[in-house]
A and B are shown apart, each in its own frame.
Chain A
Amino acid sequence: MLKYSFRRILGMIPMLFLISIVVFTLAKLMPGDGISGEIDPRNTDPQYIAEMREKLGYNDPMPQQYFRWIDNFVQGDFGKSTRFKIPVADVISERLPNTLMLGITSILITYILAFIMGSYAGRKPYTFGDNFIGGLNYLGLSIPSFIAGVFAIYLFSFTLGWFPSNGSVDIGVTDGTLEYWLSRLHHVLLPAIVLGLLSTASYTQFLRNDIIENSRKDFVRTARAKGTPERKIYNVHILRNSIIPLITFLGFDLVAIISGAIITETIFTYPGLGQLFLQSVGTRDYPVLMTLTMLFSFLTLIGNLIADVLYGVVDPRIRLD
């Protein structure tokens, strides 16, 4: 297992290298460069622009530019945002806590909801409650997250006024107080539910089917024959078997949250990395764009790795070689 994980981690390095080439090429192919996004060509002396281009190394051969970029990148120097005029690392670390909070809240809500609904539906299959949960799941799988977001804002923010419709924290609360954290939680709750909608539905479905399948197995019959109370059979014997496979989804969650965050953060104008990414595409802020794309690719690689490794941990019958 360790050997396999180690080999997979080593295998990531060439993959990251290839991805970095793709990212760099794409960034260079995009119209304009950092300067044209920053300076209004009508008001600036063309000679100054040309000088700046030369100074920033935009005229060097491509491979040279690539190696300069990747060299700095590996050393943790991601360049300077052309839009905010501060280092990219600072821009990102300012937004990162927001996205982390959104992602973690979303996973927690997903797991709690899926656990409650899935174990109920699995315990009482083909009853009204199960069918109701099944129907909800079907909606959750079918409503695209951005439409769910739009409906959620309309219903819970505008009509009912339960949740704020934008931002990550109320203006005017002091940093660090309890009030501050409550306000942040209040802001993150609605986007997190919308973000976790799809996985909640698929987890619930998975847990339900797994519980039903397990409840027909021999060890459950044995437990019943011994006179184990029904509640204990479900809570201890079956749940323990059914909950483990869910862990393997954790890796896919990571991947889903990345793309989900782009959409969800934009709908809720939540200042996180996803929103930053879309803004950087719009404003041609290439250093930020390239760093974020690399970061997202890296996280996707990690997510796939976690999924594969956990698969083997959970089910030793899967041979990893």
Chain B
Amino acid sequence: MQIDTQKDTNISAAPPKKSLSPWAIARKKFVQNKLAMISFIFLVIVGIISFLAPYITTADITRVNIADMSLEPSSKHWLGTDKSGRDVFTRLIYGGRISLLVGLSCTIFVIFIGTLIGSVAGYFGGAVDNLLMRFTDFILNFPFLVFVIVINAIFFGKVSGLWVLIAVISFLYWGGIARIVRSKILAEKENEYITAAISIGCSPAKVIVKHLLPNVLSTIIVQATITFASMIVIESALSYLGFGVPQETPSWGNMLNSANEPDVLQYKLWIWMPPALIITMTILSINFIGEGLKDAFNPKSRR
């Protein structure tokens, strides 16, 4: 992405007395990146509206209302109603709650497992590394979508669907993150400050958490944004196929499910277009934020 490069020369033009810390520089670069900031604000607004859903509309999301079936958008129903007479706008913001919750929780779990395994494997090396990485390879060799669908089908109906979905997705997805973190840690641990930390008697846990992780944190943050975007795609794709969030729970993917009916797809745009657009815009803005972060953490990029 090429976003006004000439503008922000003031950092180098007037050198401040005390030079900024890497984090402060990154923050400054990010805030000055217009596209990333707009995306960030958009995402925050979507997030706030979604999480405040119960306070914004009081309509019952589950009740089927035969009288209001497939109404076009009007002042009463801003985005119309779906085939069961449920208000599309209400479902959209409740759906955002579920989709963002699933996306966020999966991201947190994936990053946590991936960082843990990657940093332990990278720091200790040798047999530990070998064992953990073979396990990672094993997980990575499963075709992801196929196994998520199969495992979900096993648990379907037995346990509450949402957390099963999150657990299954997280368990099958962390491999890539573990590999990236491991390679970063491998490079970082060769530095002398790590030898120094070990020689003054820091425990391995302390070396990893206090000295190694802060130095690979920028990579992890960038990976986390990419993962967040993928998770939202995966959740909605699975729900669209009917193997994700339980049908009665509104999520963006479940709402799109109705686009499977040719009649809805062709003539009732208001039912499937809003979730399709909001998913795309959310992914787009997360990608822009990720790109902005990558750029902000890159010491070579001049802004």
Q: Find out whether the CB atom of A296 lies under 8 angstroms from the CB atom of B2.
A: no
Q: Is the interface of A mostly helix, strand, loop or mixed?
A: helix
Stretch of B25-33, B82-90, B118-126, B278-286 at the chain-chain interface? B278-286
Q: Find out whether the CB atom of B241 lies under 8 angstroms from the CB atom of A259.
A: no
Question: Is A301 close to B, CB under 8 A?
Answer: yes
Q: Which residues 257-303 of B have a CB within 8 angstroms of A?
A: 259-260, 262, 265-266, 269, 272, 276, 279-280, 283-284, 287
Complex interface: chain A residues within 8 A of B143 (CB): 255, 258-259, 293, 296-297, 299-300
Residue in chain B with minimal CB distance to A154: B265
Residue in chain B with minimal CB distance to A269: B260
| Pick from B141, B265, B279, B284: contact of A301, CB under 8 Å | B141
Q: Find out whether the CB atom of B266 lies under 8 angstroms from the CB atom of A154.
A: yes
Complex interface: chain B residues within 8 A of A293 (CB): 143, 146-147, 150
Q: Find out whether the CB atom of B146 lies under 8 angstroms from the CB atom of A277.
A: yes
Complex interface: chain B residues within 8 A of A30 (CB): 150, 153-154
Complex interface: chain B residues within 8 A of A15 (CB): 137-138, 141
Question: Is A278 close to B, CB under 8 A?
Answer: yes
Considering the chains assembled together, what is the distance between the CA atoms of A144 and B280 in angstroms?
A: 7
Question: Is B64 close to A, CB under 8 A?
Answer: no
Q: Which residues 292-321 of A have a CB within 8 angstroms of B?
A: 292-293, 296-297, 299-301, 304
Question: Is A181 close to B, CB under 8 A?
Answer: no
Residue in chain A with minimal CB distance to B276: A147
Interface string of A140-166 (1 = CB under 8 A from B): 011111110011011000100000010
Q: Which residues 1-53 of A have a CB within 8 angstroms of B?
A: 15, 18-19, 22, 26-27, 29-31
| Pick from B140, B146, B259, B260: contact of A304, CB under 8 Å | B140
Question: Is A106 close to B, CB under 8 A?
Answer: no
| Pick from B141, B158, B237, B283: contact of A142, CB under 8 Å | B283
Considering the chains assembled together, what is the distance between the CA atoms of A31 and B155 in angstroms?
A: 9
Q: Which residues 117-163 of B have a CB within 8 angstroms of A?
A: 137-138, 140-147, 149-151, 153-154, 156-158
CB distance from A299 to the nearest CB of B (A): 8
Interface string of B11-37 (1 = CB under 8 A from A): 000000000000000000000000000
| Pick from A147, A277, A297: contact of B280, CB under 8 Å | A147
Question: Is B243 close to A, CB under 8 A?
Answer: yes
| Pick from B141, B157, B280: contact of A300, CB under 8 Å | B141
Question: Is A197 close to B, CB under 8 A?
Answer: no
Given the interface pairs A126-B2, A142-B287, the reply to whether A259 lies near B256 with Cβ below 8 Å is no
| Pick from A19, A144, A262, A289: contact of B145, CB under 8 Å | A262
CB distance from B186 to the nearest CB of A (A): 15
Considering the chains assembled together, what is the distance between the CA atoms of A143 and B277 in angstroms?
A: 9
Interface string of B214-252 (1 = CB under 8 A from A): 000000000000000100010011001101000000000
Q: How many residues of B contact A (CB 8 A)?
A: 41
Considering the chains assembled together, what is the distance between the CA atoms of A153 and B256 in angstroms?
A: 14
Considering the chains assembled together, what is the distance between the CA atoms of A230 and B241 in angstroms?
A: 50
Q: Which residues 260-306 of A have a CB within 8 angstroms of B?
A: 262-263, 266-267, 277-278, 281, 289, 292-293, 296-297, 299-301, 304
Q: Find out whether the CB atom of A289 lies under 8 angstroms from the CB atom of B141.
A: no
Q: How many residues of A contact B (CB 8 A)?
A: 46
Q: Is the interface of B mostly helix, strand, loop or mixed?
A: helix
Complex interface: chain A residues within 8 A of B279 (CB): 144, 147
Residue in chain A with minimal CB distance to B281: A142
Residue in chain A with minimal CB distance to B291: A138
Considering the chains assembled together, what is the distance between the CA atoms of A305 and B53 in angstroms?
A: 47
Question: Is A93 close to B, CB under 8 A?
Answer: no
Residue in chain A with minimal CB distance to B145: A259
Considering the chains assembled together, what is the distance between the CA atoms of A81 and B138 in angstroms?
A: 29
Question: Is A134 close to B, CB under 8 A?
Answer: yes
Q: Find out whether the CB atom of A26 lies under 8 angstroms from the CB atom of B151.
A: yes
Q: Find out whether the CB atom of A19 lies under 8 angstroms from the CB atom of B149.
A: no
Q: Which residues 181-230 of B have a CB within 8 angstroms of A?
A: 229
CB distance from B144 to the nearest CB of A (A): 6
Given the interface pairs A19-B141, A26-B150, A262-B146, the reply to whether A141 lies near B276 with Cβ below 8 Å is no
Complex interface: chain B residues within 8 A of A126 (CB): 2
| Pick from A131, A158, A297: contact of B142, CB under 8 Å | A297
Considering the chains assembled together, what is the distance between the CA atoms of A165 and B266 in angstroms?
A: 11
CB distance from A273 to the nearest CB of B (A): 11
Considering the chains assembled together, what is the distance between the CA atoms of A15 and B141 in angstroms?
A: 9
Complex interface: chain B residues within 8 A of A19 (CB): 141-142
Complex interface: chain A residues within 8 A of B237 (CB): 144-146, 263
Given the interface pairs A144-B236, A150-B276, the reply to whether A134 lies near B265 with Cβ below 8 Å is no
Residue in chain A with minimal CB distance to B277: A147
Complex interface: chain A residues within 8 A of B233 (CB): 144
Q: Find out whether the CB atom of A141 lies under 8 angstroms from the CB atom of B141.
A: no
Q: Find out whether the CB atom of A281 lies under 8 angstroms from the CB atom of B265.
A: no
Complex interface: chain B residues within 8 A of A278 (CB): 149, 241, 243
Interface string of B31-46 (1 = CB under 8 A from A): 0000000000000000
Question: Is B67 close to A, CB under 8 A?
Answer: no
Listed A/B pairs (6) with beta-carbon separation below 8 Å: A144-B280, A146-B237, A146-B256, A258-B145, A259-B145, A267-B260
9 additional contacts (CB under 8 A) given A30-B154, A143-B280 = A22-B142, A134-B1, A138-B287, A146-B241, A263-B240, A267-B260, A281-B243, A293-B150, A297-B143
**Which are the 10 A-B pairs with shortest beta-carbon distances?**
A259-B145, A142-B284, A144-B233, A296-B143, A300-B143, A142-B283, A158-B266, A150-B259, A29-B154, A147-B276
Give B contacts to A, CB under 8 Å. Answer: 1-2, 137-138, 140-147, 149-151, 153-154, 156-158, 229, 233, 236-237, 240-241, 243, 256, 259-260, 262, 265-266, 269, 272, 276, 279-280, 283-284, 287
